[in-house]
């Protein structure tokens, strides 16, 4: 995913994944487990581009990656 297509929050997710040595799939698995909601790479991509806004999923991402939502 190109950085120019990402929102500032999407960039935060990318950098946090790198800092924590996590893959996107690691995050997806943890968010699914944390929320008991279906969550896949497509939803993650939409959140990172700003076209999907599920507060429960965003809160879970923030908790797991220890970042803030702007």
Give the domain range for residue 8. Answer: 3-65
- Which residues are within 8 A (CB) of 37 and not within 5 positions of it... i.e. 6 or more apart? 31, 54, 56, 57
2 band by pLDDT with thresholds 50, 70 and 90: low
Assign residue 26 the CATH number of its domain. Answer: 1.10.260
Within a domain: residue 57?
yes
4-59 per-position pLDDT tens digit? 689 999 999 999 999 999 999 999 999 999 999 999 999 999 999 999 889 999 99
The answer to whether 10 touches 45, Cβ cutoff 8 Å, is no
Say what the pLDDT of residue 5 is: 86
> How many structural domains is the chain composed of?
1
Say what the pLDDT of residue 3 is: 59
């Amino acid at each position: 995913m190109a950085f120019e297509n990402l929102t500032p929050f999407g960039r935060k997710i990318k950098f946090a994944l790198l800092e924590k040595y996590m893959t996107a799939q690691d995050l997806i698995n943890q968010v699914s487990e944390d929320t008991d909601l279906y969550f896949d790479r497509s939803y993650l991509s939409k959140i990172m581009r700003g076209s999907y806004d599920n507060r429960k999923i965003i809160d879970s991402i923030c908790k797991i990656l220890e970042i803030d939502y702007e």
